[in-house]
Amino acid sequence: SALQYGIDARMVVLKGSASPISAPFVLINPTVLSRSGEDRMVSWLEYCLVLSAGLEVELLRDEIVEIAAQDVHGVPIRRTLSGESARAFQHELDHLDGILIVDYAGLDDLPGAVAGIEAPYHAARQRRAFERNVYQGNTPLYW
């Protein structure tokens, strides 16, 4: 996400196997329009480049997410993502919303030093991580 690079913008770039197209997929001001049901969530073992090397968390992600955003030229994008694209998008959107993979774990599942740092804020951050928000507006996004 842009925030990881010091850019004050809501921007996600999916590259490589995470991109649903053959080039980097750039999303400006992304939002989730709909998600697959909780019965269709997929378990993933994730790591994060902003956390200690070797720290992995098993968590559930929506199998399918329908998203809306704009491309770098301001053109509206509406797309349904699945598989690795859906997983990576949700991971990066979490960063934009101030959520890390450790927020999905129980404190007992985290290394002691990480659990100690996370403990004062963990319950509130975990509630936010599990919210599964979708766009609730009354008007269409971008079009």
What is the pairing mode between strands 41-47 and 56-62?
antiparallel
Out of 46, 58, 63, 92, pick the active-site residue: 92
Kindly state the DSSP code that residue 49 receives in the 8-state scheme: T
Largest distance between two CA atoms of the chain: 48
Strand, coil or helix: what is 52?
coil
The C-alpha atoms of residue 106 and residue 103 are separated, in whole angstroms, by 8
- What residue type is 80 in one-letter code? T
Is 92 among the residues known to form the active site? yes
Give me the sheet containing 25-35, strands edge to edge: 11-14, 25-35, 64-70, 76-82
Cβ atoms within 10 Å, residue 65: 24
What residues act catalytically? 92
